[in-house]
């Protein structure tokens, strides 16, 4: 048996303690907890610091509801005899039927028929606007209206400056009556007569010019005219020019809403 050198044994250090193992930095459970906390903080930050979505505000629509022409006349208590544009809601091309007669309005049919029955003495007439006709060497103009039933054309003279044609006598002396543009409110009828507070025919502007008439009246509009009456001994006749055309004192167009509606269109 080999002899062991005691000196060698003395120099050899024997570690009899427990062997230490290298520990991991964090255990998996700790990593999970940290991750959850980070996510929670991110969510809390997003909730508190992200801009809040704006609550949609309820918008009030103040635009008046437009109704069909048939609904409008029915509400006023009358019907439609003739209408040029069935899609139009302004009332500009409507001829009312005879049920519209009230204490202040006249039958539209009277305007249609009067010119036919009294061609030499047309005090009033109604028709569909067809256009203007210039008058040579004059600022005046002729208006052309068509009876939509028999297609006959009526001509009237509009005056825009003082002349012997539109000079009329009255208690205070002579007066020049240039042609005025008037608007009839078609919302006025048998059902609305008692509650009516506005004139059913009114003058929106004091202006008297061909430019105004051309802007307010379009081809296809229903237009009524009133002529100038000339006093004769014991009777009256219609004032006419040298061509035998009746001189017009008033041109009356029509709208639901009357003058207020026309003023909106003229802006």
3-state secondary structure of 192: coil
- What is the β-pairing status of strands 180-185 and 246-255? parallel
| List of E strands, the chain | 80-83, 94-96, 124-134, 141-146, 153-158, 167-170, 173-176, 180-185, 201-202, 222-227, 229-232, 235-238, 246-255
Q: Between these two residues, 138 and 173, which has the higher pLDDT value?
A: 138
Q: Would 57 be classed as within a structural domain?
A: no
pLDDT for 231 equals 80
CA angle, residues 152, 104, 200, in degrees to nearest 5: 85
Size (the chain), residues: 267
Q: Would 59 be classed as within a structural domain?
A: no
pLDDT for 63 equals 47
pTM attached to this predicted model:
0.75
Q: Between these two residues, 56 and 12, which has the higher pLDDT value?
A: 56
How many domains would you assign to the chain? 1
Q: Would 47 be classed as within a structural domain?
A: no
Rounded to whole angstroms, how far apart are CA atoms 91 and 265? 13
| pLDDT at 56 > cutoff 60 | no
Q: Would 244 be classed as within a structural domain?
A: yes
Residue recorded with tokens 């042609």: 179
- 142-168 tens-digit pLDDT: 999 999 999 999 999 999 999 999 998
| pLDDT at 261 > cutoff 80 | yes
| pLDDT at 189 > cutoff 70 | yes
Q: What count of other Cβ atoms lies within 10 Å of the Cβ of residue 108?
A: 23
- 73-87 tens-digit pLDDT: 999 999 999 999 999
Q: Would 164 be classed as within a structural domain?
A: yes
Mean pLDDT of 54-58: 59
Q: Would 20 be classed as within a structural domain?
A: no
Q: Would 143 be classed as within a structural domain?
A: yes
How far CA 194 is from CA of 35, 39, 76, 107, in Å, comes to 81, 75, 11, 19
Give the DSSP per-residue string, 208-241.
--HHHHHHH--TT-EEEEEEPEEEETTEEEE-B-
**Beta carbons of 92 and 254 less than 8 angstroms apart:** yes
**Beta carbons of 94 and 73 less than 8 angstroms apart:** yes
pLDDT above 90: percentage of residues in the chain: 59
Residue recorded with tokens 């204490």: 103
Mean pLDDT of 247-265: 96
Mean pLDDT over all residues of the chain? 85
Residue recorded with tokens 């903080």: 41
Q: Per the structure block, which two tokens stand in for 113?
A: 């028929």
| pLDDT at 222 > cutoff 70 | yes
CATH of the domain at 114: 2.40.50
Q: Would 18 be classed as within a structural domain?
A: no
Which range scores top for mean pLDDT: 43-52, 162-171, 215-224?
215-224
Per-residue pLDDT band for 12 (boundaries 50, 70, 90) equals: very low
Per-residue pLDDT band for 37 (boundaries 50, 70, 90) equals: confident
Structural domain boundaries enclosing 141: 79-266
């Amino acid at each position: 048996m080999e002899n062991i050198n005691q000196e060698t044994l003395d120099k050899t250090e024997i570690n009899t303690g427990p062997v230490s193992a290298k520990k991991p930095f964090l255990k998996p459970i700790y990593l999970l907890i940290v991750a959850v906390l980070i996510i929670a903080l991110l969510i809390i930050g997003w909730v508190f610091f992200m801009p809040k979505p704006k609550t949609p505000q309820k918008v009030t629509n103040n635009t008046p509801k437009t109704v069909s022409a048939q609904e409008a006349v029915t509400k006023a208590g009358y019907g439609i005899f003739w209408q040029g544009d069935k899609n139009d809601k302004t009332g500009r091309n409507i001829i009312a039927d005879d049920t519209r007669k009230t204490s202040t309005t006249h039958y539209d049919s009277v305007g249609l028929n009067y010119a036919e029955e009294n061609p030499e003495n047309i005090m009033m007439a109604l028709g569909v606007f067809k256009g203007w006709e210039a008058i040579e060497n004059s600022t005046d103009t002729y208006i052309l209206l068509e009876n939509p039933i028999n297609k006959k054309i009526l001509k009237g003279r509009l005056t825009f400056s003082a002349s012997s044609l539109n000079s009329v006598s009255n208690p205070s002396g002579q007066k020049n009556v240039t042609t005025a543009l008037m608007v009839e409110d078609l919302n006025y009828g048998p059902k609305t007569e008692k509650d009516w507070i506005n004139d059913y025919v009114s003058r929106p502007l004091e202006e008297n010019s061909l430019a105004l008439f051309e802007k307010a009246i379009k081809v296809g509009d229903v237009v009524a005219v009133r002529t100038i009456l000339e006093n004769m001994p014991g009777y009256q006749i219609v004032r006419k020019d040298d061509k035998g055309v009746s001189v017009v004192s008033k041109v009356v167009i029509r709208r639901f809403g009357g003058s207020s509606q026309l003023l909106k269109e003229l802006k």
